[in-house]
Amino acid sequence: MQNIWVHPRGARYLPMSEDIVPKIQDLLRFCHSKRVPVFYLHTTKRRDLADVGVFADIKPQTHDPDDEWSNFEGTIGAEFYEPIKPAADDLTVKKFRYSGFYGTQLENLLRAMGRDTIAIAGVATNVCCDSTARDGAMRDFRVLFLSDCNASFTREEQEATLNNFNKHFGVVMDSKALTAKLQELE
Amino acid sequence: MQNIWVHPRGARYLPMSEDIVPKIQDLLRFCHSKRVPVFYLHTTKRRDLADVGVFADIKPQTHDPDDEWSNFEGTIGAEFYEPIKPAADDLTVKKFRYSGFYGTQLENLLRAMGRDTIAIAGVATNVCCDSTARDGAMRDFRVLFLSDCNASFTREEQEATLNNFNKHFGVVMDSKALTAKLQELE
Amino acid sequence: MQNIWVHPRGARYLPMSEDIVPKIQDLLRFCHSKRVPVFYLHTTKRRDLADVGVFADIKPQTHDPDDEWSNFEGTIGAEFYEPIKPAADDLTVKKFRYSGFYGTQLENLLRAMGRDTIAIAGVATNVCCDSTARDGAMRDFRVLFLSDCNASFTREEQEATLNNFNKHFGVVMDSKALTAKLQELE
Amino acid sequence: MQNIWVHPRGARYLPMSEDIVPKIQDLLRFCHSKRVPVFYLHTTKRRDLADVGVFADIKPQTHDPDDEWSNFEGTIGAEFYEPIKPAADDLTVKKFRYSGFYGTQLENLLRAMGRDTIAIAGVATNVCCDSTARDGAMRDFRVLFLSDCNASFTREEQEATLNNFNKHFGVVMDSKALTAKLQELE
């Protein structure tokens, strides 16, 4: 998660992201202790807007190149939020659109590691998380959408996304259910 | 639109699809008269389930290979719904996942035709239509999601999808606004 | 393999394809007996040229829509060459560019079947076969390029492609080596 | 071009790359003066080999993580070759497989800039350059493969690749022909 969305000064700050920070921290500790690979997706854009395509028009509010708290390359807004950032063995994948699978090496990394299941955590539930989760499912990964580790702008968006995902794309569960499942598998 | 979703006997019949049929018929007449290219997406699956991937588990209700009203290759359920089917010059693109852009030639066809804008019509709003629309936006097409030409299972899903799309991915409008806009451009 | 390239009347007939036909027939018998999945790639184009993109200019000689021995949809040239065509359990994947992985469901099918290795047979070595083989390698499949089951237009092209592939993309072997290897693995 | 291939100490040094350096420098000057966008592709791999997939086996000679002159992230070998490196307005695209279009944002950048034609320069002709050029053609870009701005390991590889490309994928020309053409278009 990057400052633009999770830091209180971020240009697209989601207040509900506060609730998920401790949950994700716990999950990360668990994953590191069990050697479950952790991927961070990192979205940036160029200040000359060359790589933003139609989104400069669709979402002008995040495309002001002078805004240090948006997610332009090299700005404070683009940095990972301090309390949750990659540990030594975690993998960072750069992306430039909502989906972490579109135009990235994420699928290759997962295949090379022999992984067939992914769990989604982050912000925003209804935008990047959902788009990444859908794309994972279409590529035949089993996708677990973690209800208490994803945050949205509103309660309604959160629920609509989780309900829809659970019906059509994969499985919604909370992080406790995931860690219990992983422990059971050992 | 295929019988599985739009025909009353379809395995995944959406009653709300009835409302959009006349709207889409009008839109098709308009497009044909103005020589706006029309694409039909056609989703089928093999009876041996070789191409369904994880979805056989996620949605067992549509993966019974004996069901003639699901969308297995060669069944009645897979056929286009009679009142809305491709005219001579329309293009049909086969797809096998929710998104019409994933693993298909849709992007190439649009590029070859010099098109930079697409309008989405069909079912289900919150599944195939939304996934196709999102993928179009990420590929830098301007995507218009037609509020009165897409149907969902429930009113809530319909609204949640349209609101979310309009905020983050593209533009929501109705078919009257689209045809007015196209006439204005002539 | 389709008539356009393998049938003596085909618009792009490769005389060297004759040598590989019996080799591929033997290999198919072996694969069927061992239940090794067999995929046929099938390339067609629309008579209105809507899906051919830049290739109508680059290769005008195969884009005459009146030519029944090119590979337009529904023509004799597009059909599989009679002596080598899909058996009941073989899978056919439609493609529309040189690579069998580009804009198709091939990767999903291979993943769903748990396959991590592919062997390439067909025509032309230096065009479709090489492009498909390279794309497979980049997607992290182990790719075996079968020296006696791929044919080219000239001996030089054949050798250049095989040498290059073996150095940078995967492994070149003949079909006897492949079947020996598979028998050894049983 | 990165040191691994072009610097005399590079782990995969191509002596023939020396000939193309002045040609590419001239071409860059021309492009900058005419505001033709310039893209640099940059290929790196992780020292833990997590992102190299099957290539660790296929090409062990470039996968020794202690080799500072291979192209591992952060090494001298991964850096751009000093005499040819990105100017202020040039765009750099990270890639991790041979093709510059696979798993990257290259296509989006080209589309967003309204470009339909690309010219290929670099090393090695028969590996990264050819794979990128083929992928560009399959995505319907007009691809110009510059005969005097691409270098290979041997003269035979160079010729085989250029001949094959010119017959099936796009157009081969030298940089003088390209600049003449661009000047003519002004």
For the segment A26-46, what is each residue's pLDDT rounded down to a tens digit?
A: 999 999 999 999 999 999 999
What distance in Å separates residue C135's CA from the closest CA in chain B? 14
B7 touches B85 (CB < 8 A): no
Using 50, 70 and 90 to split pLDDT, how confident is the model at B186? Answer: confident
Chains linked to A by 3 or more Cβ pairs within 8 Å: B, C, D
pLDDT value at residue D93: 97
Is residue C121 within 8 A of residue C146, CB to CB? The reply is yes
Is A62 a residue whose pLDDT tops 90? no
What are phi and psi for residue B149, nearest 5 degrees?
A: -120, 15
With CA atoms as reference, report the closest residue to C79 among C44, C47, C113: C44
**Residue ranges in A35-154 assigned as alpha helix (H):** 55-58, 106-112, 130-138
| A159 Cβ neighbours under 8 A, 6+ residues apart | none
Task: Name the CA radius of gyration of chain B, rounded.
Answer: 16
Given an 8 Å threshold on Cβ–Cβ distance, is D94 in contact with A94? yes
Question: What size, in residues, is chain C?
Answer: 186
If interface means Cβ-Cβ distance under 8 Å, which residues of chain D face chain A?
Answer: 46, 48, 50-53, 89, 91, 94, 96-97, 103-105, 107-109, 111-113
Q: What are the E-state strand segments in A11-138? A: 39-43, 91-95, 117-123
Strand-strand pairing, A117-123 and A142-151? parallel
Using DSSP's 3-state secondary structure scheme, residue A40 falls into: strand
pLDDT at A61: 86
Q: Is B17's pLDDT higher than 90?
A: yes
Q: Do B139 and D112 touch (CB under 8 A)?
A: no
Chain B positions touching chain D (beta carbons under 8 Å): 108, 111-112, 139-140
Say whether A156 and B157 touch across the interface (CB within 8 A): no
Q: Tell me: the pLDDT tens digits for D46-104?
A: 999 999 999 998 888 889 999 999 999 999 999 999 999 999 999 999 999 999 999 99
What is the pLDDT, as a whole number, of residue D185? 87
Kindly tell me if the per-residue pLDDT of C181 is higher than 90: yes
Q: What residues pair up with C143 in beta bridges, in sequence order? A: C118
How close A88 gets to chain B, by Cα (Å)? Answer: 31
Span B56-60, average pLDDT: 89
Query: Neighbouring chains of B at 3+ CB pairs within 8 Å?
Result: A, C, D
pLDDT above 90 (res A123): yes
- Dump pLDDT digits (tens) for B105-118: 999 999 999 999 99
What percent of chain A clears pLDDT 70, i.e. is strictly above it?
Answer: 100
Contacts of D139 in chain B (CB under 8 A): 108, 111
Task: Please name the member of A102, A140, A157 whose beta carbon is closest to the beta carbon of B54.
Answer: A140
Burial class (CB within 10 angstroms; exposed 0-12, middle 13-18, buried 19+) of D113: middle
What number of CA atoms fall less than 13 Å from residue C90's CA on the CB side? 16
Give me the pLDDT at residue B62, please. Answer: 87
- Helices C17-34 and C175-185, packing angle to 10 deg: 10
At C75, the pLDDT band (50, 70, 90 cuts) reads: very high
Distance from CA of A54 to the nearest CA of B (A): 5
**What are φ and ψ of residue C13, in 5° steps?**
-55, 130
List all chains that touch chain C, counting a touch as 3 or more CB pairs closer than 8 Å. Answer: A, B, D
Contacts with B131 from chain A: Cβ below 8 Å: 134, 138
DSSP tag of C54: T
Q: What pLDDT is recorded for position A103?
A: 97
The kind and range of the H/E element at A159 are: helix A155-168
Q: Give A87: exposed, middle or buried? Use CB within 10 Å, 0-12, 13-18, 19+.
A: exposed
Report chain C's C-alpha Rg in angstroms: 16
What pLDDT, on a 0 to 100 scale, did the predictor assign at position C129?
Answer: 98
Mean pLDDT of B51-73: 92
How far C111 CA lies from chain A's nearest CA (Å)? Answer: 8
For residue B94, name the pLDDT band (cuts at 50, 70, 90). very high
Q: Which chains touch D (3 or more CB pairs under 8 A)?
A: A, B, C
DSSP string, D86-141: --TT-EEEEESSS-TTTTSSHHHHHHHTT--EEEEEEE-IIIIIHHHHHHHHHTT-
For B111, name the nearest residue in chain D, comparing CA atoms only.
Answer: D140
Closest to A78 (Cα-Cα) out of A45, A120, A122, A125 = A45
pLDDT tens-place string over residues D115-137:
999 999 999 999 999 999 999 99
| Beta carbons within 8 Å of D6's beta carbon, 6+ residues apart | D13, D14, D17, D21, D81, D84, D123
Write down the pLDDT at residue D62: 87
Q: What is the DSSP letter of B151?
A: E
Q: Is the pLDDT of residue A19 over 90?
A: yes
Task: Report ipTM for this prediction.
Answer: 0.96
Look at C58 and D169 and tell me if their CB atoms are within 8 Å. yes
What is the reported pLDDT for A185? 87
Q: pLDDT class for D1, splitting at 50, 70, 90?
A: very high
The residue count of chain B comes to: 186
Tell me, what's the pLDDT at A120? Answer: 98
Task: Give the minimum alpha-carbon distance from A101 to chain C in angstroms, rounded to a whole number.
Answer: 13
Task: Identify the pLDDT of residue C185.
Answer: 87
CA distance A153 to chain B (A): 11
Q: What pLDDT was estimated at residue D111?
A: 93
Apex CA A105: angle with CA A38 and CA C169, to 5°? 125
High-pLDDT (> 90) share of chain C, %? 95
CA distance C150 to C158: 8
Residue B62 or residue A9, greater confidence: A9
Region A111-122: what's the mean pLDDT?
95
Which chain C residues are closer than 8 Å to A111 by Cβ? 111, 139-140
* pLDDT score of D61: 86
Q: How far is CA B46 from CA A102, A136, B66, B78, C90, in A?
A: 26, 21, 11, 11, 12
Q: Which residues in chain C have Cβ-Cβ distances shorter than 8 Å to A139?
A: 108, 111
Buried b (16+ CB within 10 A) or exposed e, B123-145: bbbbbbbbbbbbbbbbbbbbbbb
Q: What are phi and psi of C56, to 5 degrees?
A: -60, -35
Please tell me whether residue A89 adopts helix, strand or coil conformation.
coil
Decide if D168 and C126 are in contact by the 8 Å CB cutoff: yes
**Once rounded to an integer, what is the mean pLDDT over residues C47-76?**
93
- Among D127, D138, D168, whose Cβ lies nearest the Cβ of C59? D168
Identify the CA nearest to D97 among candidates C138, A101, C131: C138
Size of interface A-B (CB pairs under 8 A): 71
* Substitution target from C107, C109, C142 for chain A, most A beta carbons within 10 A: C107
Output b/e per residue, C106-139; b: 16+ Cβ within 10 A.
bbbbbbbeeeebbbbbbbbbbbbbbbbbbbbbbb
Using CA atoms, how far apart are residues B165 and B160, in angstroms rounded to an integer? 9
Fill in the DSSP letter of residue D149.
E
Chain B nearest-CA residue for A159: B160
Give me the pLDDT at residue D6, please.
98
Residues with Cβ within 8 Å of D44's Cβ and at least 6 positions away in sequence, in order, are D71, D72, D73, D78, D94, D96
CB distance D62 to D71 below 8 Å: yes
Angle ∠(B135,B139,B145) on CA atoms, nearest 5: 50
Which residues from B are below 8 Å from A when comparing CB atoms? 53-55, 57-59, 97-99, 102, 126-127, 131, 134-135, 137-138, 140-142, 156-157, 160-161, 164, 168-171
pLDDT tens digit string along C91-140?
999 999 999 999 999 999 999 999 999 999 999 999 999 999 999 999 99
| Chain D, nearest residue to C156 by Cα | D160
pLDDT of B185: 87
Measured distance CA(A9)–CA(A18) in Å, rounded: 13
- Gap from C98 CA to chain D (nearest CA, Å): 7
* pLDDT one-digit tens code per residue, A129-156: 999 999 999 999 999 999 999 999 999 9
User: Measured between CA atoms, how close is C76 to chain D, in angstroms?
Assistant: 23
Q: Which residues of D touch A46 (CB under 8 A)?
A: 91
Q: DSSP letters of D23-66?
A: HHHHHHHHHHHHT---EEEEE-B-TT-TT-TTHHHH-GGG--TT
Please say if the pLDDT value at position A186 is more than 90.
no
- Give the residue from chain B lying closest to A98, CA to CA: B138
Which residues of chain B does A135 touch, with a Cβ-Cβ cutoff of 8 Å?
102
Q: Choose the weakest-confidence range: A164-168, C109-113, D22-26, D142-146.
A: C109-113
Q: How far is CA B151 from CA B24, B38, B119, B146, D177, in A?
A: 11, 19, 14, 10, 55
Are the Cβ atoms of A139 and C112 closer than 8 angstroms?
A: no
